[in-house]
Chains A and B, each alone.
Chain A
Amino acid sequence: MSQAAIPTDPPPQADASASHLDSFSYDDAICRMFMSAMFIWGLVAFLVGMILAIQLPFPYIPGTDIPTNFNLEWFTFGRLRPLHTNAAIFAFAGNAIFAGVYYSTQRLCKTRMWSDLFSRLHFWGWQLVIVAAAVTLPAGITQSKEYAELEWPVDLLIAVVWLGFFGVNFLMTLLNRRERHMYVALWFYIATIVTVTVLHVFNNLVIPVFGPGLVKSYPVYAGVQDAFMQWWYGHNAVAFFLTTPFLGMMYYFLPKAAERPVFSYRLSIVHFWSLVFIYIWAGPHHLQYTALPDWAASLGMVFSLMLWMPSWGGMINFLLTLRGAWQKVASDPILKFFVVAITFYGMATFEGPMLSIKSVNALSHYTDWTIAHVHAGALGWNGFLAFGMMYFLLPRLFQAKLFSPKLANLHFWLATVGILLYIIPIYVAGITQGLMWRAMTETGQLAYPDFVETVIAIKPMWMLRILGGGCYMAGALIGGVNLYKTWAARPKTYDVPVIQAAPLSKLEGVPEAKPEPTIDGVADIAKTLNVWATGWWHRKWERLPIRFTVWVVIAVVVASLFEIIPTFLIRSNVPQIESVKPYTALELYGRDIYVAEGCYNCHSQMIRPILAEVERYGEYSKPGEFIYDRPFQWGSRRIGPDLARVGLTRPQAFWHAEHFEEPDRIVPGSIMPPYPWLFDKEIDWRSLEKRMRAINLLHGGEAYTEEQLTNAEAHAREQAERIAAQIETDGGRGGLSEKQVVALIAYLQRMGTDLNAPPEAPAEEPALDDATASLHTTPAEGGE
């Protein structure tokens, strides 16, 4: 594209043979709305990211005793981190998707979006979801499942907006198109819409708890199964929210910007279907070495490896599309952004399969390596594509010359330097900390037994990251200048070109005919394959949107069920442990605080069967320990140590009370922020019974007796007073028995203790054999 003039794409050629032509125009106003929203929310996501990046190495403002969470609960890492990820994914990338999809779909279908009203409902509904997220997440209203943190009322809104407004509008547009066949970009959009719907609905099935001031729910899945469903969702959110729609957009905007034909239609077909089918299986690679059954983890690994080439199919198709256009790349900021986006896509989709390999994962999991990987993907692939697309769209949507190609180039270079300054230190941090965690001495002991040592070692890398993030954000701000100035130069009224095209029903077309085999003298099967490989049947599907959509649904649902059904039905996946009992009223309430505060953002609850890990944290976690965990809290990053056995290693209430007040006083060098509000906020005693009844419902009435339910408050008060007294006796604050901190401590004291808990005093006949067996669960017996 030349920067010298306002680009005007040639209007689609009217088919001369058609007798009747429709006149219509494209809805570019909706694209302007989504693109502006993308930019604004992008800045919010970057800003929150910067705050988090600063809070990690600087828990206190240097030289002062003012904590960087300012003692504010809503400004604390555990609550802000979900806001950052949700803003980046659903607000920044989400609005980018909608801008790109609305712009390209209308042109690829030669039709206006089906309903302007639905387009607006979609836009405003989605912005409402984002605002709801920005309010609820810092308020601690969360389901705590990564990228599915939003609570059930927001989830319902998302479902309506995504499927009801966006999905219906898109599919109706497909049905009303004036182009006989659907281009590959549209295939990817179809896959996005149907799969995100399926993922969203099934990962968010919950039982709400109703009460005054209470927005809270418990998932219908518990423990291992909840973890499985979450990472089936989490991995495929990356696949179908951050990959497929962006691939579709690249298939539209790259050949448009480069003015080159797409390298290979056949590659598009093969990599589209293999990607859609294989991606769905790979979720369990997020749970290598956890209490997830081995077979599922192994499946997750091999499907991730098989995913390498389907992912790279897109990269190759894009890079080879640029053949003959590389001189353009050197001068055109749009193509520069696209080339870097493709490069990061290729890098991230190589790294993904590599990280899924068990022995690599053993090192990388819970470290910053994961953080570097996702930022290479989100900032590199999604961000660069979104900004490249923005520069493509700016002059077209605002009908004015791009304010400054020079500033666009500066944006590009700042973003490129920024991303490198972000990911390289964070890769170093991840690998360093991973190696320190596992390092053993000659005497068979931990080389770095104090967790804090491994945090202090990577702090300099965290400081460099602030610089990298700052550069990337500065680039985006310069993009904002370009956006604003180009917008300011827009015409008084936008020109709305009238497009003419023949309606689909009037288009002359030859139905796809089965070609003859081109090989001779071979078996019939070879001939059939030869004909099949021409892809003629696919050409037929491309003019049948409903059939195409149904096949996509079949591909993702069948693949999902192959893993989901055995996970839920095979009893040996989660061997029962007799000594594991439901949480008490107070512990359950404390657990809900743990969830609300977002503790899982920094602490895992999953000790893997790895030597150094068992040395550091204690006996590795068993599937049966988590059957009352709704939601599961295994975590994905250890910014602080694992807590799965914290009830055994830190049983002292006084320790926790002191620690929550000022963590680095108790653990010198700790970067955990203080939690003073836990000492002020009171326990909502009346909600206890409601919470327990919801849990009981999910356990078929087996979790609690009627006595435990009706006397929940009395039992909880008794336990709270006991803990408060312990704190006071040991020299801590008095008068805490009504405060939330006591409930949270009750939960922490319980955590991980059930596995080897002595059996309760037998009521009638002691089942001695079982009891002794569970007492001596050694690693040798604790496997599958």
Chain B
Amino acid sequence: MSDPIPPTPTDDDALPKGAEMLTGHNYDGIQEYDNPTPAWWTWIFIGSVVFAVVYLFFVLSAGDELSPHGQFRRASIANTEKKFGELGDLEPDAATIIAYMDNEQWMAFAGNVFKTNCIACHGANGEGGTGPNLTDDAYIHVASIEDIAAVIRDGAANGAMPPHETRLHPNEIVLVASYVAAMRGQNRPGNPPKGEDIPPWETP
């Protein structure tokens, strides 16, 4: 530093290094040492700049491979495989829906889908809320068991029941239809029956 006042060594014996120099600056009594920046500080700083350049180059040139969207798409495909790899494609017909009603493993799976998507309006156990009770024998938009899948897929009641075609996997629609069909007859206390009483599900 070229300064009006030449740097002077400090006389403070509490300092680790006797060679520490003051800059000679004095502001309202505040002085400053002329110490260099700590080496570890300097090198981590330089390292972070180097990392930044390298990281940006790799991430931006890798494109989809490292982008959040690319990672999501691969995770999504893998997860669908994990869910339904052994199941194949289910048909939304009466036979399939009835066949899965007694399948403990897949009804647990459907219960999770129900909890994620249905309980807000139909209640935690299907007893109804702002939507109808699913545990009695009265139905509004369902005449036979495969109608349940259709209502889930396409919605009903002028959109009060939303369509789930884009929201759920086709298999999930079939399995939740089984799950809902199996609720019938539990007659849980909740909303009073609404709609028409329909004949029991036909067993194939």
Whether, in the assembled complex, A8 has its beta carbon less than 8 Å from a beta carbon of chain B, the answer is: no
Whether, in the assembled complex, A435 has its beta carbon less than 8 Å from a beta carbon of chain B, the answer is: no
CB–CB A263/B33 < 8 A: yes
Q: Which residue of B lies closest to A777 (CB)?
A: B166
- How many whole Å from B153's CB to the nearest CB in chain A? 14
CA distance A107 to B76 in the complex (A): 63
CB–CB A611/B33 < 8 A: no
Q: A611-B76, A654-B160, A658-B130 are in contact. Are A299 and B56 (CB under 8 A)?
A: yes
Chain A residues with CB under 8 Å of B14's CB are: 323-324
CB–CB A274/B45 < 8 A: yes
Whether, in the assembled complex, A784 has its beta carbon less than 8 Å from a beta carbon of chain B, the answer is: yes
| Residue in contact with B59 in the complex, picked from A266, A298, A444, A510, CB distance below 8 Å | A298
Kindly name the residue among A256, A298, A515 whose own CB sees the greatest number of chain B CB atoms within 10 A. A298
Whether, in the assembled complex, A689 has its beta carbon less than 8 Å from a beta carbon of chain B, the answer is: no
Q: A108-B28, A611-B79, A756-B166 are in contact. Are A308 and B113 (CB under 8 A)?
A: no
CA distance A181 to B5 in the complex (A): 13
- How many whole Å from A562's CB to the nearest CB in chain B? 13
- How many whole Å from B131's CB to the nearest CB in chain A? 7
Q: Which of chain A's residues 309-324 have a Cβ closer than 8 Å to chain B?
A: 309-310, 312-313, 316, 320, 323-324
Q: Which of chain B's residues 119-172 have a Cβ closer than 8 Å to chain A?
A: 119-121, 124, 129-131, 155, 158-162, 166-167
Chain A interface residue count, Cβ-Cβ cutoff 8 angstroms: 91
CB–CB B56/A445 < 8 A: no
CB–CB B70/A316 < 8 A: no
Q: A262-B32, A443-B109 are in contact. Are A508 and B4 (CB under 8 A)?
A: yes
CB–CB B30/A305 < 8 A: no
Q: Which residue of A lies closest to B75 (CB)?
A: A611
Kindly name the residue among B23, B30, B33, B60 whose own CB sees the greatest number of chain A CB atoms within 10 A. B30
Whether, in the assembled complex, B55 has its beta carbon less than 8 Å from a beta carbon of chain A, the answer is: yes
Render B27-64 as a binary contact track against A, CB cut-off 8 A, 1 for contact. Answer: 11111111111100100110011011001100110001
Whether, in the assembled complex, A759 has its beta carbon less than 8 Å from a beta carbon of chain B, the answer is: no
CA distance A767 to B16 in the complex (A): 79
CA distance A524 to B29 in the complex (A): 39
Chain A residues with CB under 8 Å of B75's CB are: 611
Q: Which residue of B lies closest to A648 (CB)?
A: B162
Q: Which of chain A's residues 580-624 have a Cβ closer than 8 Å to chain B?
A: 608-611, 614-616, 618-620
- How many whole Å from A454's CB to the nearest CB in chain B? 13
Render A425-452 as a binary contact track against B, CB cut-off 8 A, 1 for contact. Answer: 0000000000000001101111001100
CB–CB A264/B112 < 8 A: no
Q: Which of chain A's residues 661-701 have a Cβ closer than 8 Å to chain B?
A: 666-668
Q: Which of chain A's residues 261-275 have a Cβ closer than 8 Å to chain B?
A: 261-268, 270, 274
CA distance A295 to B66 in the complex (A): 12
Whether, in the assembled complex, A780 has its beta carbon less than 8 Å from a beta carbon of chain B, the answer is: yes
| Residue in contact with B115 in the complex, picked from A262, A308, A449, CB distance below 8 Å | A449
Kindly name the residue among B16, B109, B166 whose own CB sees the greatest number of chain A CB atoms within 10 A. B166
- How many whole Å from B186's CB to the nearest CB in chain A? 19
Whether, in the assembled complex, A303 has its beta carbon less than 8 Å from a beta carbon of chain B, the answer is: yes
CA distance A513 to B144 in the complex (A): 95
Chain A residues with CB under 8 Å of B68's CB are: 289, 294, 358, 608-610
CB–CB A730/B115 < 8 A: no
CB–CB B52/A266 < 8 A: no
Q: A303-B52, A358-B68, A444-B83 are in contact. Are A666 and B129 (CB under 8 A)?
A: yes
Chain A residues with CB under 8 Å of B103's CB are: none
Q: Which residue of B lies closest to A327 (CB)?
A: B14
Q: A108-B28, A614-B72 are in contact. Are A270 and B160 (CB under 8 A)?
A: no
Whether, in the assembled complex, A306 has its beta carbon less than 8 Å from a beta carbon of chain B, the answer is: yes
Whether, in the assembled complex, A166 has its beta carbon less than 8 Å from a beta carbon of chain B, the answer is: no
| Segment touching B, from A31-39, A396-404, A489-497, A532-540 | A532-540
Chain A residues with CB under 8 Å of B160's CB are: 651-654, 726, 730
Chain A residues with CB under 8 Å of B41's CB are: 267, 309, 312-313, 316
CA distance A608 to B68 in the complex (A): 9
Whether, in the assembled complex, A179 has its beta carbon less than 8 Å from a beta carbon of chain B, the answer is: yes
Q: Which residue of A lies closest to B194 (CB)?
A: A731
CB–CB A654/B79 < 8 A: no
Kindly name the residue among B12, B67, B72, B73 whose own CB sees the greatest number of chain A CB atoms within 10 A. B72
| Residue in contact with B112 in the complex, picked from A263, A270, A309, A446, CB distance below 8 Å | A446
- How many whole Å from A177's CB to the nearest CB in chain B? 11
CB–CB A444/B82 < 8 A: yes
Whether, in the assembled complex, A183 has its beta carbon less than 8 Å from a beta carbon of chain B, the answer is: yes
Q: A324-B12, A444-B83, A611-B76 are in contact. Are A266 and B37 (CB under 8 A)?
A: yes
- How many whole Å from A447's CB to the nearest CB in chain B? 9
Chain A residues with CB under 8 Å of B129's CB are: 655, 666
Chain B residues with CB under 8 Å of A313's CB are: 37, 41
Chain A residues with CB under 8 Å of B121's CB are: 650, 652, 655
Whether, in the assembled complex, B202 has its beta carbon less than 8 Å from a beta carbon of chain A, the answer is: no
Chain B residues with CB under 8 Å of A784's CB are: 67, 69
CB–CB A309/B48 < 8 A: yes
Kindly name the residue among B10, B14, B161 whose own CB sees the greatest number of chain A CB atoms within 10 A. B14
Whether, in the assembled complex, B25 has its beta carbon less than 8 Å from a beta carbon of chain A, the answer is: yes
CB–CB B109/A252 < 8 A: no
CB–CB A667/B120 < 8 A: yes
Whether, in the assembled complex, A711 has its beta carbon less than 8 Å from a beta carbon of chain B, the answer is: no
CB–CB A539/B2 < 8 A: yes
CA distance A510 to B31 in the complex (A): 19
CB–CB B37/A655 < 8 A: no
- How many whole Å from B110's CB to the nearest CB in chain A? 10
CA distance A310 to B48 in the complex (A): 11
Chain B residues with CB under 8 Å of A730's CB are: 130, 160
CA distance A780 to B3 in the complex (A): 65
- How many whole Å from A256's CB to the nearest CB in chain B? 7
| Residue in contact with B29 in the complex, picked from A256, A535, A652, CB distance below 8 Å | A256
CB–CB A295/B35 < 8 A: no
- How many whole Å from A383's CB to the nearest CB in chain B? 24
CA distance A515 to B34 in the complex (A): 15
CB–CB B67/A264 < 8 A: no
CA distance A323 to B33 in the complex (A): 12
CB–CB B30/A261 < 8 A: yes
CB–CB B64/A783 < 8 A: yes
- How many whole Å from B8's CB to the nearest CB in chain A? 11
CB–CB A261/B113 < 8 A: no
Q: Which residue of A lies closest to B115 (CB)?
A: A449
Q: Which of chain A's residues 635-661 have a Cβ closer than 8 Å to chain B?
A: 648-655, 658
Whether, in the assembled complex, B182 has its beta carbon less than 8 Å from a beta carbon of chain A, the answer is: no
- How many whole Å from B35's CB to the nearest CB in chain A? 4
CB–CB A512/B2 < 8 A: yes
Q: Which residue of B lies closest to A513 (CB)?
A: B2
| Residue in contact with B120 in the complex, picked from A110, A181, A650, CB distance below 8 Å | A650
Chain B residues with CB under 8 Å of A536's CB are: 1-2
CA distance A299 to B53 in the complex (A): 10
Q: A299-B56, A306-B49, A539-B3 are in contact. Are A648 and B167 (CB under 8 A)?
A: yes
CB–CB A306/B67 < 8 A: no
CB–CB A302/B162 < 8 A: no
Q: A294-B68, A618-B167 are in contact. Are A510 and B33 (CB under 8 A)?
A: no
Q: A306-B52, A444-B79, A666-B130 are in contact. Are A515 and B2 (CB under 8 A)?
A: yes
CB–CB B76/A726 < 8 A: no
Chain A residues with CB under 8 Å of B60's CB are: 294-295, 298
CB–CB A539/B29 < 8 A: no
Q: Which residue of A lies closest to B109 (CB)?
A: A443
Q: Which residue of B lies closest to A510 (CB)?
A: B4
| Residue in contact with A261 in the complex, picked from B33, B59, B159, B166, CB distance below 8 Å | B33
Q: Which of chain B's residues 78-133 have a Cβ closer than 8 Å to chain A?
A: 79-80, 82-83, 108-109, 112-113, 115-117, 119-121, 124, 129-131
If A9-B28, A261-B33, A263-B33 are given as contacts, then 4 extra A-B residue pairs at C-beta distance below 8 Å, sorted by A number, are: A261-B10, A610-B72, A619-B166, A666-B129
A-B pairs with beta carbons under 8 Å apart, 17 shown? A108-B28, A110-B28, A183-B28, A264-B36, A265-B1, A266-B36, A268-B32, A309-B45, A323-B14, A509-B4, A513-B2, A534-B1, A609-B72, A611-B79, A650-B162, A655-B130, A658-B130
In the A-B complex, the 7 residue pairs with the smallest Cβ-Cβ separation, listed nearest first, are: A324-B14, A302-B52, A309-B45, A609-B72, A449-B116, A261-B31, A783-B69
